[in-house]
Amino acid sequence: MSLTDNPTARPPLTHLSEDEVLFRDAVAAFAADDVAPRVRAMEAAGRIDAEIIAKYFEMGLMGIELPESAGGAGGSAMMIAIAVEEISKVDPAAAIMVDVQNTLVNYPIHRYGNADQHARYLTRLTTDTIGAYALSEPDSGSDAFGLQCKAEKTTTGWKLTGRKLWITNGAEAEIFVVFANADFAKGYRGITAFIVEKTFAGFSVGKKEDKLGIRASSTCELILDGVEVPDANVLGPVGQGYKIAIDTLNGGRIGIGAQMIGVAGGALRAACDYLKQRTQFGKSLTEFQGIQFQVAQAATELEAARLMVYNAARLKDAGCDIVREGAMAKLYSSQVAERVTSVSLELFGGYGYVKDYPVEKFYRDAKIGAIYEGTSNMQLQTIAKIVLTQGV
């Protein structure tokens, strides 16, 4: 039977390979069966269920892009985006743990670490250990390279002093990629990356933030009180931390874009299911043209955002420069997430404003997309610089 014989049948997803479709479906089934029943409890407790974390490792979701020789799944950036999107359709708070592990922790250690660091850390990170990325500080957010965390050389290694703020996975992580300045006279060229373990002397986790959304994901302060770090844990060359940070965040923005299209997709799916069940004035809500148009507009914007995220992931896998595409994908997907979750909430009417339905949570969760891993204004600045110098 051809598609013309059955016009309602959808053709294969040309932007996903057969293996990627199978992977997507497996993650979607896991999200529906294992994550969804725990969402409300995790939100209330403010933490990800330990059984979910264990399942992440068991399924290979904590080392998607790493080669099998490092304990990874030998996958791709595209597969990371797919996994984050599918889990985010159920709970973006649960999804961000997978995203950060893959894009902000595994990536820089694998890309810039030496063989010894690979052997000591990558197997742990793909087997049973959570990681975190520590760049932001109380006085350096968008101006990340104005960080004041100090790295002092000692006879046996380094001593790190300062505070880090807004650290995702901070409560669960045991391995941290930390950025500190080893030579303030050189400005941002003194910034150096370090692999820090939670057990290192002088290291402690401080306040856990009480957030508007993605509440099950931990966001914590890190206190570095003369943390003793051996020379063997310097990640990349001394003074090249700013390059590592930029490169890592460029790829990380694809993950945030995937999270945001997942949030929008989950909210719109919930709204459509509700519309099919609800009647007013003797008709299904799906029969009202005003509602149909809102759904159509939301679905169109969501598809456009999805294609931008997927395109950026494909380009990364091809080894291309993704600064512009990553920034655009994050910017637009976060905007779409806010619009689509808002419309979806309104389609529920009064029910959308209460916690009995999932759309209220999606609405709160969506806001973070415009803030972390580079605010929307910073993405606009990045895009503008490239377009004005290189053209459209």
Selection from 222, 181, 218, 177 nearest residue 203 by Cα: 222
Selection from 371, 369, 376, 360 nearest residue 266 by Cα: 360
Stretch (H or E) spanning 224: strand 219-230
Please give the Cα distance from 119 to 115 (Å, whole number).
Answer: 6
CA 280 to chain centre: 39
43 is catalytic: no
Tokens of 223: 């206190």
Nearest-Å Rg of the Cα atoms of the chain is 22
Stretch (H or E) spanning 226: strand 219-230
Given 85, 221, 301, 373, the catalytic residue: 373
Only one residue has tokens 């290979």, namely 60
Please give the Cα distance from 151 to 124 (Å, whole number).
Answer: 26
Label residue 237 left, alpha or beta by phi (over 0 means left) and psi (-120 to 50 means alpha): beta
Tell me the catalytic residues: 373
